[in-house]
Amino acid sequence: MPKTIIEKIEETKLQIAQYQNREKQLMQQEKQEERKLRTRRLIERGAIVENIFSETASLTNEQFKTFLERTINKDSAREVLENLIADSKATPKASDEIGET
């Protein structure tokens, strides 16, 4: 038996609701992946700093922040950062992973 127009409309509304729910799920999944990547990056970078400056492991978070602010907020550090950013834009990015050459 053929569907009536009203039945087709209701079926379409149901499909729309299902697609909207799927969209929400996918957006949540994307946000979760972004959070995981950010967390991993923060952990890796913290490990790099502790590897280079092993003495910082005994500092409090406030002391560590002060150390970074006083070290990094110098003109020479800013210049190095700007050069690295310019270089990364000029050349294709191979990988951000630690230990890769």
Tell whether 101 is covered by a domain.
no
Q: What is the pLDDT of residues 27-55, one digit of tens each?
A: 999 999 999 999 999 999 999 999 999 99
Rg (CA), the chain: 25
pLDDT at 101 (0 to 100): 39
**Domain residue limits at 38:** 1-52
Tell whether 99 is covered by a domain.
no
As a whole-number percent, the residues of the chain with pLDDT over 90 amount to 70
Burial class from Cβ neighbours inside 10 Å (0-12, 13-18, 19+) for residue 75 reads exposed
Claim to verify: residue 40 and residue 61 sit in the same structural domain? no
Claim to verify: residue 1 and residue 45 sit in the same structural domain? yes
Residues of the chain with pLDDT under 50: 100-101
Claim to verify: residue 2 and residue 47 sit in the same structural domain? yes
